[in-house]
Amino acid sequence: MMKNDLLKLGPVTIYGYGLMIAIGIVVAYMVVNYRAKNRQLAQSHVSSLTIWGLLGGFFGAKLLYWITQYKNIWDHPEILWDLTAGYVVFGGIIGGILAGYLYCRKNKLNFLQCLDLFAPSIALAQGFGRIGCLLAGCCYGEETDSWFGITFHESHFAPNGVKLIPTQIFESVFNFAVFFILIWIARRVKLDGFIAGLYLIFYSLGRFVIEFYRGDIIRGSVGMFSTSQWISIGVLLVTCTIYISMLFRSNQVAADE
């Protein structure tokens, strides 16, 4: 049975969602730190980029949630002060990348190389984060009669007592798979920005598909697609355009040589 309250130590409660987020951040940081040693990037930069990325991701995820909930915020302004819930992953990704770009520019670091370094770990952290979503019951799927449906009994987010599509599990497995694929490719391809671009393409495609099975429609939609699906389309188009431009320039340089 999924349960968010994992352990109580007196007045302190350890929540599954927060614990999995913390584990994801620590493990992702360890992977980045290990890989950075082969790329001659100082540990101080790795630590600073991690902090900047987390802060940018936090504000980006919260800001995008506020944007999607602007109608509800008008009637319930207390939403603005609730830091325990209400985050959109795509906002976190965009905010974290922008914060990393500002840090790299400030310290004269190669932004695309740094983003390539961090991209697999972002997917890894997301894999753990979705396990936290499963324990809390957020980001739940639609109702189903299938054998693989899961039932919540004490969730403050998902409807309790009905079988739901385990979208959290699907996305967690997907993110872990993306992590291993990116690590494998990173050992073979050295083009700056290639791994980061692949991450954005993989995640956008996967998220677009999984959104069809999500049941938490409060996140907002525009027409036939959810907000996250429209963002997925936008990120996919922009990334592919940049990709084509990079490959064209790379071929031009090779031809000139």
- Highest averaged pLDDT of the listed ranges 2-6, 124-128, 153-157, 214-218: 124-128
Choice between 65 and 85, residue whose per-residue pLDDT is larger: 65
Mean pLDDT of 178-183: 98
Average per-residue pLDDT in the chain? 88
Indicate whether 76 pLDDT > 80: no
The pLDDT value recorded for residue 115 is: 97
Mean pLDDT of 90-115: 96
The pLDDT value recorded for residue 155 is: 87
Question: Could you tell me the two tokens for 159?
Answer: 């409807």
pTM, two decimals, is 0.89
Indicate whether 9 pLDDT > 80: no
Distance, in Å, from the CA atom of 209 to the CA atom of 133, rounded to the nearest integer, reads 18
pLDDT-derived band at 12 (thresholds 50, 70, 90) equals: confident
* Residue 161 amino acid letter: G
Indicate whether 11 pLDDT > 80: no
Indicate whether 83 pLDDT > 60: yes
Cα–Cα separations (whole angstroms), residue 34 to 39, 42, 45, 205: 10, 11, 13, 29
Mean pLDDT of 222-247: 89
The pLDDT value recorded for residue 253 is: 58
pLDDT-derived band at 240 (thresholds 50, 70, 90) equals: very high
The pLDDT value recorded for residue 165 is: 96
Q: What is the CA radius of gyration of the chain?
A: 19
Q: Which of 172, 57, 43 is nearest to 117 (CA)?
A: 43
pLDDT tens digit string along 106-151? 999 999 999 999 999 999 999 999 999 999 898 999 999 998 899 9
